[in-house]
Structures are given as C-alpha cells and as structure tokens.
Amino acid sequence: MSDRQPTDHKLLPTNEPLRISVRRLRWFRAAFEKFAAEIGAEIGCNFCIDDEKLAATFVSWLRAVERQKPSDKSARKDYFEFAAGLMLREFTGNLPLQALSVPTIAAPDSAAAFWPEGYVCTLFCLTVHAAATEQEFKDRPDLASAFDDLRHWWSFRENIREDNRFSIGFLQLLLGHQPDWSMPDVFRARLNKEISNIEPQSGSPARKD
Amino acid sequence: MLTPASQSHGILKLREALRGMRHVLRISGNSINDTLSSDVLPSPAADLASIALRKSNRLAKRVDSAASRLGKKALGVTNQTIPSLQSFAGQKDGGLAFSVSFYAGTQTVLKQLNAEGMFVSELNACKAFKQADMPEDADAAAAAKLIIDLHEANVLTGLAYGPARIPQSLIEPVTLFAVVLWLQSNRSETEDEAALSAAIDISIAISVDIGKAFLSRDQTALAALFSEFIRHV
C-alpha cells in the first residue's frame, strides 16, 4: 500500500451526492481547477488549464460512461472504478493541463517531478473515485504501492502515446487490481456476462435475446 | 391609457431601434477604420476619414448610453432571479421575460465565442417565444422547437468581427443551443454565471452534432442532445 492516499485531498464541497456533482461541468471544472492549484502549491509548480479541452474531456467522459453503464446494480461499485479509468483516459487524450514550470518542491525521483500533468490528472481521478466510493458504498479504496514506483509512471507515459486505453489499466493497477491489458476499455463485468451468455450455447446456433 | 404590457412592448421596440442604430454605427466605424486608415490615405482624405470616424464613435457612444438607460427601465415583467424556460412558459407575457434573459445570455455566449459583431434581436426573440407556444412543462422537444423558431425569426443576424472560436456556420446553432440549454439547467442564483459558461463549453464540445442536427432542422436530434446534457451543465 502507498503512503499516499487519495482521501488526503479534499474536493470542492457540494450539496449534491458526488456522483451527481461530478457529472455537472460547472462543478467538475471548479473542482479540477482547485485541485490542480492545490497540488501545484504542494509540488511547487504552476499549471495552466485549457477550458475548451477540459470541456471536451468532460463531454467525452460522460458519453463513454453512459455507453457502458451496466443495468445490473451489483456491478455498480466496479463500474465506479471503471468510470474513473475512463476519466483518466479522456484526460490523457485531451491533455487540458499544462505545467508552466518545473516542480521545485517535488522529489526528483517522484511521479510529480517526472510528469506533473499526468500526476495531477491521475490523482484527481483517484480522489474523485475514492470520495464517491466512500459516499456510496462506505468503503475507502487504498492506493497500491505501484503508485510510488516511478517505473509504472514511466511505462504509463510511454504507453499512452501509442494507445490511450492504457490509462484505464494504469488506474486499476494503482488501485491494486489486475487490469485486462488486452481490452482495458471494455467493462469487465459486462464482458464476463457476455462470455457467460455465449458459453452454454457453444455448439448450438446463436440465440437472440 | 397604456397598459403596463403595452408600455413594456413600446420600450422593447424603442430599445431595439437604438440597438439597431448602434449596430450600424459600429459596423460603419469598423469599416472606416479597416478600409480608410489615415496612415494609408493622402492628407485631405485622411483628415476627413479621421473626422468621420470620431463623429461616428461619438454618436455610437450616445446611442449606447441611451440604449442602456432604456435597458434599465422596468419592463413590467416578474423579476426572475433564476430564469428558466418553464417559468417563462407559465408566466403572463413570458415572451418579454424570455427575450430579456435571451438577449443577456446571447451577448455573453457571443463574447465567449469571440463572435461579437452580430446583431441580437430581442424583439424577434419575444415574437419567436410567443410563436413557439411553450407548454408550462416545457421539455427537451419544446426546447428543440424553440431554437428552430428563434432561427426562423432571425434573432441573430450579421457576421462576427474577428476569428471566432468555432466556424462561422456554427455560431448561430451553437449560440442558440447554449442559451436554451442554460435556461433549462437546474442551478442556484450563485451558480448562474458558471452554469452559462458550462452550457457554452458543452455546446462547443458538441458543436459538430449541434450543427448537423440544426442544418437538417432535425428537432428529434436536437431534443436528444438537450436530453443528454440538461443534467450536466
């Protein structure tokens, strides 16, 4: 387990359940701005946010979340984690955050110094996920030791240049879960359900539901 | 004796006339500036151009202040803190209340799109709202019909001055969509400005979808876009 936990950071207050607020652009934007400013102060780095790219990140994320939303309520908790991974995928795809300086306070061998923008976006997704999970399921997800291992961050940055879906697997890895690297952007519960629907019918003609 | 409603309509018409005059003066001022620049013209013509420009600017400022004095006059409509489509629909003379909010919202959208210079007709917006005959429980379908009615009423005319954030052909559909999306959003008074800004950025992000639906006057597609994003402003 990492020494750092996503619940170390406080998100922008809201009167609504977080799962609702995070899907309102006005809250999402204000929360991300506040978060980036706080982490920036902590690591000694100034950031600039491109509002248009941030809105594009938000819209693509909303659409991606709606597309795979499971009807099965028992998959809800897993889907929260998957949705956080989708959010990171959209952040790394649109790159709405830009560091204006090199972090002056962060340790040279830390993820924050290595890739400040990726570090802030990842931590934001993890923090939103942790807060929503705590609120909805009374559970606090911990960060795995992978979070402190610079090799994972290096691999993350390298791999998303070729395939942005890697972000989803990376976030699952940081939460201590084994990602499905072959299809990281397909929600596993849905995939499992589809596989189990196919298996009993092997050898017989496909039946439409 | 004039009723408060007819007085309000009278003020609306007068304000529109002044804004129209201001619009023409601004456009001519810009044209003089762009085409008859004093540093490229020979001496007597340059002097005349400078005088014309100064006079045009002075006149525009006077019309500006007259229009804003009228803008502050009570229009005889309920003072809404949170303007919404539903409340306008259920209000006597809701067209007037709608047109005031529509004008203010549209000016903000055009500014954020960097598309200033277009003329916004509050009078035509009022007519379009009445024409749309909004039900009190105005839903996404009614909102979609409204933006087509607003377009047909020519509420936005002219061209943007400079290079806007989106292509010229998308300015009208995106502006109308953003304003009507904002007017449907659930928000508090303190969140009003942030909600309008969010409605604008969402509309820019889905501008291609809006443009496609708008161009084919596809109200079902526009209603689907409203339904998709109303809760996310």
Determine the distance in angstroms separating the CA of B146 from the nearest CA of chain A, rounded to an integer. Answer: 24
Judged by CB atoms closer than 8 Å, whether chains meet at A55 and B204 is answered as yes
Judged by CB atoms closer than 8 Å, whether chains meet at B232 and A55 is answered as no
Per-residue pLDDT of A142-198, as tens digits, reads 999 999 999 999 999 999 999 999 999 999 999 999 898 888 999 976 567 666 766
Q: Please give the pLDDT value at position A202.
A: 47
Judged by CB atoms closer than 8 Å, whether chains meet at A52 and B165 is answered as yes
- pTM over cut 0.95: no
What residues form DSSP beta bridges with A97? A49
Residues on chain B touching A56 (C-beta within 8 angstroms): 205
Q: Please give the pLDDT value at position A204.
A: 42
Q: What is the CA radius of gyration of chain B?
A: 19
Nearest CA-CA partner of A117 in A157, A84, A147? A157
Facing A55 at nearest CB: one of B195, B201, B231: B201
How far, in Å, CA of A84 to CA of A89, rounded?
Answer: 9
Q: Please give the pLDDT value at position B70.
A: 64
**Residue B97 contacts residue B85 (beta carbons within 8 Å):** no
Judged by CB atoms closer than 8 Å, whether chains meet at A52 and B231 is answered as no
Q: Please give the pLDDT value at position A18.
A: 97
ipTM higher than the 0.90 cut: no
Q: Please give the pLDDT value at position B76.
A: 46
* Mean of per-residue pLDDT scores for chain A: 90
Judged by CB atoms closer than 8 Å, whether chains meet at A59 and B165 is answered as no
Chain A residue with minimal CA distance to B203? A55
Q: Where are the alpha helices (DSSP H) in B73-93?
A: 85-89
Q: How high is the mean pLDDT in each 10-residue block of chain B (233 residues)?
A: 68 78 76 66 75 75 70 52 84 88 96 93 95 88 96 93 90 98 94 96 98 98 98 97
